Structure 1
């Protein structure tokens, strides 16, 4: 009778790695995860942070931040029982309405709004920046409440009803270096 010795831990690991198909490259989405984590840590540390749009988190609808846009926020407060997250950037006079991911692919052209997703980025303010900053920049006009985003259909209705002016199209084109 021959005694069989149990494999040592190193040999067992090699067998498991071989059975799994050998060494693997890190998953492509791990770089995305690392970027998301760095972004969240920056926001948590009370820093304004550049955030890539699109993916599985959110897209943004961009409007002016004038009187009509503020009326649309008040309307969305009624419709939603408190409007979803909206950032005002006082440096360019724009609102960034946080909408569900994938909205960009379904967004119909609108005279008073633009929807942006990947590959664009916005500066997201610290979660504690809820009043206009002393120097031009972003702040939470309507802070994020847990995982709630602004619903697209009621937002489109509000924007059609209140027609925020001036249109954000020219401002965005200029900031992105697009000429007509």
Structure 2
């Protein structure tokens, strides 16, 4: 008796690419979507992946990760029933709050946070990464829930996570353009 071996997600994507043929190019507006899907497959497969912010995925709000930011996360837990996804980078002392795409376009100056979208990229830790070293899921993703910007802005203004990320953001390694 032989057992069937199922292909991995990566093998399925490669087979689909081969089946499309060399002459078939994705539509220009689908290239970002295809790259995002491949990156999310890597995250699900327990690998880190870099994803482009904005588009149809998410933007990020960046704050310090100290006790004040943790208090803001606890308040967001109450507001949302469980806070949307947040990544902690213990090496840089930052939290990356995943917020709805397009939030950076409407973001007004905030004393304790910065919001970034396209063309920046963020390294997403694998879904099973729940502790350091390196970036990990402080609040893991749950279905399609993101952190709502309005209540987050209010929580950050209330708890005032310091130091602010404004001055040193450009030197952070996990955010790129």
TM-score in terms of structure 1 length: 0.79
Question: Deviations 1:61-107 (Å, cap 9, x if unpaired)?
Answer: 00000010000000111111111110001121110001001000100
Question: Deviations 1:88-129 (Å, cap 9, x if unpaired)?
Answer: 011211100010010001000011000000011111011111
* Counterpart-to-counterpart distance in 2, 1:78 and 1:31: 38
Aligned twin of 1:55 = 55
Alignment equivalent of 1:141, drawn from 138, 147, 154: 138
User: Residues 25 and 129 of structure 1: is their aligned pair in 2 closer, same or farther, counting only changes over 3 Å?
Assistant: closer
The answer (yes or no) to whether the contact 1:85–1:98 under 8 Å persists in 2 is yes
The answer (yes or no) to whether the contact 2:92–2:172 under 8 Å persists in 1 is no
The answer (yes or no) to whether the contact 2:57–2:101 under 8 Å persists in 1 is yes
Q: What is the aligned length?
A: 151
Q: Give, in angstroms, the shift of residue 40 of structure 1.
A: 1.3
* Counterpart-to-counterpart distance in 2, 1:61 and 1:126: 20
Correspondences of 1:6-85 after superposition (within 5 Å): 26-85=26-85
* Counterpart-to-counterpart distance in 2, 1:88 and 1:175: 13
- Structure 1 runs (4+) greater than 3 angstroms displaced: 23-26
Q: Give, in angstroms, the shift of residue 24 of structure 1.
A: 8.8
Question: Deviations 1:126-180 (Å, cap 9, x if unpaired)?
Answer: 11112x22x3x1100001111011011100000000000010112212237xxxx
3-state SS of the aligned residue for 1:62? strand
Structure number, greater radius of gyration: 1
Unaligned ranges ≥5, structure 1 = 1-22
TM-score in terms of structure 2 length: 0.81
Question: Deviations 1:29-57 (Å, cap 9, x if unpaired)?
Answer: 22112211220121011011111101011
The answer (yes or no) to whether the contact 1:92–1:171 under 8 Å persists in 2 is no
Residue 120 (1) aligns with residue 117 (2): no
